[in-house]
Amino acid sequence: MAEIDEACKATAAKNGLKDCYVRPIAWRGSEMIGVSAQQTKIHVAIAVWEWPSYFDPATKAKGIRLTWAKYQRPDPKTAPVAAKAAGLYMICTISKHAAEKDGYADAMMLDYRGYVAEATGANVFFVKDGVLHTPKPDCFLDGITRRTVIDIAKGKGIEVVERHIQKEELSTFTECFIVGTAAEVTPVSEVGEFKFTPAKLSLDLMDTYAALVRGEAMATA
């Protein structure tokens, strides 16, 4: 991992990029074609490109609209759900394309039990009485941005509760936002039939995270 980290930094520097998206990718070679791939070589590539904001910065603070995804995050007994694996993104791509076709920015996914899980490429947080609630990542990726936002929130004295969240509970939350490497911290105004109003807590975490990853502030600022 240390070698890949250094290669990521070198790739960004080589391309003259200081604020960019970095995507290291590992894949098996073509020496064997089949389910068994014991004799294939592992290859690694690193892509970097400018990606200022996943969502329109002019309207981001107002909150994006999400619909419900058709597919659900799978049982951890059926797939390596803790891995950032390309195959696990297939149902995410299908769901996001369907959402965009209907005029939404993204889709919210439930898990195999019916609990709220995540958006198609970002984790989700909800606010109730000044407390952050976020789904327990027991069948989907525990994202780096998710963990960073939790640390920032705790540094600000905000209580964070990780738990299973029923879909019907969304009516009890006042704020909602999604987090991810590309999404950063993005407020949400709507998830299907449930409405939210981006307010102080969401907007403060959005600004603090943006400043932190650009070296402009400390997480506890």
Which are the contacts of 59, defined by CB distance < 8 A and separation ≥ 6?
none
Residue 216, CB half-sphere, CA atoms under 13 Å: how many?
8
Taking alpha carbons only, the member of 103, 149, 98, 102 closest to residue 122 is 149
Residue 115, CB half-sphere, CA atoms under 13 Å: how many?
16
Sign of CA dihedral 195, 174, 89, 112: negative
Taking alpha carbons only, the member of 155, 153, 147, 146 closest to residue 220 is 155
Taking alpha carbons only, the member of 161, 219, 140, 157 closest to residue 185 is 219
Q: Is residue 101 within a helix (H) or strand (E), and if so which, with residue range? A: helix 90-101
d(CA 145, CA 9): 18
Which residues share a beta bridge with 119?
Answer: 108
- Residue 132 CA, chain-centre distance (Å), reads 16
d(CA 127, CA 184): 17
Exactly one of 9, 41, 62, 84 is catalytic; which is it?
84
Q: Could you confirm whether 84 is annotated as catalytic?
A: yes
Q: Which residues are catalytic?
A: 84
